[in-house]
Amino acid sequence: MILYDYVLSPDCYKIRLLAALTGAKLTLRAVDFHPGGEHRSPAFLAINPAGTIPVMQDASLTLTDSAAILTYVAARSGPAWLGDDTPEMRARVALWLAFAQRLSASIGKARTHDMLQKPADIVACRKAGVQCLREIEAALVERHLMGDAFLAGNRPTLADIACFPHSMLAPDGGISVDAYPAIRLWTRAIRALPGFVEMPGIHRLHDLKPEPAGVQA
């Protein structure tokens, strides 16, 4: 499985995260998204005419959408992540995979505006981002009341992987995450999963590791 990847992209990171959690082997091809604009190069547009990342190639298959890539990696390497336990869980996974597009269009855009100087209506992006975070918070509160700790049910699924990165990275786009206690506990639960990997802006839970010994001069 070849992943056309950019280290600062939340949508690329969610593929790397799922691969790490499921033990899937990825071959990473770094795309110089910024400042090089390699996603607009003729060579890249030949692979994905839309000029978006991530892109996955596996044998004759080319996937240009992060929800599709997540679904494929899970089906190949960790089918439990598809969340097929019940019709309700399956529907919730579909719901949050679609919802993640709203996160990209709000928090994602605010972030590329602030970090990479990409054009955006920053006020509208931040307002929409706050609305997204409020909806995730409300959903997590409801799931907790019904006895579940994750977005689609009582265990982590693609729903959580799809929505986790933007929920953590919102401050990069000037959107505070201070006001969401359920999101805080949920993102901690995801960061505690065995095999979890980091990206810039999303660090592991240092509290789970023993204190390192003093560095000797």
Chain residues that interact with other proteins, rule: CB under 8 A: 134, 138, 141-142, 145-147, 178-179, 181-182, 184-185, 188, 203, 205-207, 211-212, 214-215
| 7 or 138: CB nearest other proteins | 138
| 31 or 175: CB nearest other proteins | 175
| 43 or 215: CB nearest other proteins | 215
Q: Which of 16, 42, 40, 17 is nearest to 29 (CA)?
A: 16
Q: Smallest distance, Å, CB 14 to other proteins?
A: 23
Query: Cis peptide before 35, with omega less than 30 degrees from 0?
Result: yes
| 26 or 140: CB nearest other proteins | 140
Q: Smallest distance, Å, CB 207 to other proteins?
A: 5
From residue 97, alpha-carbon distances to 1, 13, 25, 69, 162 in Å are: 21, 15, 22, 11, 6
Q: Smallest distance, Å, CB 62 to other proteins?
A: 40
Kindly report the number of other CB atoms within 10 A of residue 185's CB atom: 12
Q: Which of 148, 68, 52, 143 is nearest to 100 (CA)?
A: 68
Exposed, middle or buried by CB within 10 Å (0-12, 13-18, 19+), for 25?
exposed
CA atoms lying within 13 Å on the CB side of residue 19:
19
| 46 or 178: CB nearest other proteins | 178
Q: Smallest distance, Å, CB 128 to other proteins?
A: 14
Q: Are 200 and 34 in contact (CB under 8 A)?
A: no
Kindly report the number of other CB atoms within 10 A of residue 174's CB atom: 16
Q: Smallest distance, Å, CB 32 to other proteins?
A: 29
Q: Smallest distance, Å, CB 28 to other proteins?
A: 27
| 118 or 203: CB nearest other proteins | 203
Exposed, middle or buried by CB within 10 Å (0-12, 13-18, 19+), for 209?
exposed
